[in-house]
Every structure is written in C-alpha cells, then in structure tokens.
Amino acid sequence: MIEYKEVYTYNDQPVTCPQCGNRTEILLDFYFLPEKTQVHKCLSKNCKTEFITQEDIE
C-alpha cells in the first residue's frame, strides 16, 4: 500500500486533480469504508498525480 501525504475531501462534486484540475480515474475504491476512501489518478499524461479522497463527513 502506497502512503499518501495528503488526503483530499470531497462532497458531491466530481473529483479533479489537485495539481492541474484535470479529470481523474479511480484506481481503488474503498466504498465499504465509512469515509468512502478512493485512490485517484490524474488522466493528464503530463501529470499522472495519484491522490486519495475521502467523503467529507462533517
């Protein structure tokens, strides 16, 4: 399991890359967790940033 330094929260908005704002694909989807953690990868060929999102449950 890769360790990620930052976790991004989201609500209902589509997830976009925090680096370049591009669309992403879901690499892993832990929908069974309460936080609905997802691992995303940026679809931009120049970026390819991987990052984690969790549902904002405040």
List interacting residues with Zn ion (CB under 5 A).
17, 19-20, 22, 42, 44, 47, 49
Give the residue with the Cβ less far from Zn ion, 21 or 31: 21
How near is the Cβ of 56 to Zn ion at its closest, in Å? Answer: 21
Q: Report how far residue 2's alpha carbon sits from residue 21's, in angstroms, rounded to the nearest whole number.
A: 22
Nearest one of 58, 56, 4 to 27, comparing CA atoms: 4
How near is the Cβ of 23 to Zn ion at its closest, in Å? Answer: 9
Alpha helices by DSSP H, listed for the chain, are none
Give the residue with the Cβ less far from Zn ion, 42 or 52: 42
